[in-house]
Amino acid sequence: MEPKPSRMHLQGQSAESSRQETELQHQQSHSSAIEFGTVEEMLRYDAAQVSPPATLAARLRDALANEPRRRPAWWRRWLPRRRKE
């Protein structure tokens, strides 16, 4: 696999005022600057912020519960099962 560029620079902006800690945290969370060296870095960062909805797993579990029990092909029943290594 070819290496792809991966470099992230995080730059935090220091708060100038000496307000309460909660306000400082709020300000940092909304105005901290992030620099991305490449588009791919930005997309990876974005992907890390996105989580699949919790309902997805539940929907899939319900759907799979209604799936007919899968049976392996007749010829596969005669083959030894592959193992993860």
Q: State in Å, rounded, how far the first CA of the chain is from the last one.
A: 20
Task: Tell me which long-range contacts 80-85 makes (C-beta under 8 A, separation of at least 24).
Answer: none
40 sits in which H/E element: helix 39-49
> Is there binding between residue 36 and other proteins (CB under 8 A)?
yes
Residue of the chain from 15, 24, 27, 44 that contacts other proteins (CB under 8 A): 44
Residue count, binding to other proteins (CB under 8 A): 46
Interface residues with other proteins (CB under 8 A) are 1-2, 4, 6, 9, 29-40, 42-47, 49-53, 55-57, 59-60, 63-64, 67, 70, 72-73, 76, 79, 81-85
